[in-house]
Amino acid sequence: MLEHEPGYLREEDLGYLREEDSRYLTKLLLYPVESKEVDYKSAVKFEKGKDFAAKLVKHILAFANSGGGYLIIGYKEQADGSLAPDPGITEKIVASYDTTRLCQYINTYLSGQGRIKIIIFKVEFAGIKYPIIRIYRFQECPFVCTKGCDSSESGGGAILKKNKVYIRTDEAKTCVAATIEELPEWKQLTREITMLWREARP
């Protein structure tokens, strides 16, 4: 995680990050490894209404409900399971990732709830810029997806399910939180809420 956590940053504020924070973002590109806090996706343009956009929403909600994290666009899984820069990334794809546009799209799935907090950095590595989406944890209570979204592909099924809470697991997976008996990750959500309550106390 970034050592410096500003209250809010716009995309153009990247230059104001402390040097060690900028190095951390570069490290995510230099040593790509998925974890509960970090995920990588192929070089796909962000377009509202597309399947990939809905999948981004699902992963971002899961990060926000699990302490926050980073979603890097432009890396592809190799045959051996490792991650490497996606040669398909272009300036047009990078430009499609805008903090305000993505935030507004995510919030259409969060009716009646607080706004999600994210920022998109465009970090250059080996002469190529990659969008890195920084997701902050929820402020008061976990986000509930209030609108479903089905895949446009035949037989693709539901990408987002209405009235579900998405979380990240220790195995670097995004899933729906069920009951405490079925998914102990609910306990982690409870700990997050307790921590926020304690921090808010005078």
pTM of the predicted structure, to 2 decimals: 0.81
Q: What's the pLDDT at 140?
A: 79
- Angle between helical axes of 51-64 and 99-107 (0-180°, round to 10): 80
Q: What's the pLDDT at 141?
A: 82
Low-confidence ranges of the chain (pLDDT < 50): 1-14, 16, 179-183
Estimate the share of the chain in helix, then strand, then coil, as percent rounded to the nearest 5.
30, 20, 50
Q: What's the pLDDT at 17?
A: 56
Q: What are phi and psi of 133, to 5 degrees?
A: -95, 115
Question: For 90-127, what is each residue's pLDDT tens digit?
Answer: 999 999 999 999 999 999 999 888 889 999 999 999 99
Q: What's the pLDDT at 177?
A: 82
Residue 196 in tokens: 């926020």
Query: Does residue 26 contact residue 130 with C-beta atoms inside 8 Å?
Result: no
CATH class given for the domain over 11-200: alpha beta
Distance CA(40)–CA(83), nearest Å, equals 8
Strand, coil or helix: 158: strand
Average pLDDT over all residues of the chain = 84
Q: What's the pLDDT at 180?
A: 45
Q: What's the pLDDT at 28?
A: 95
Burial environment of residue 25 by CB neighbours within 10 A (0 to 12, 13 to 18, 19 or more): buried
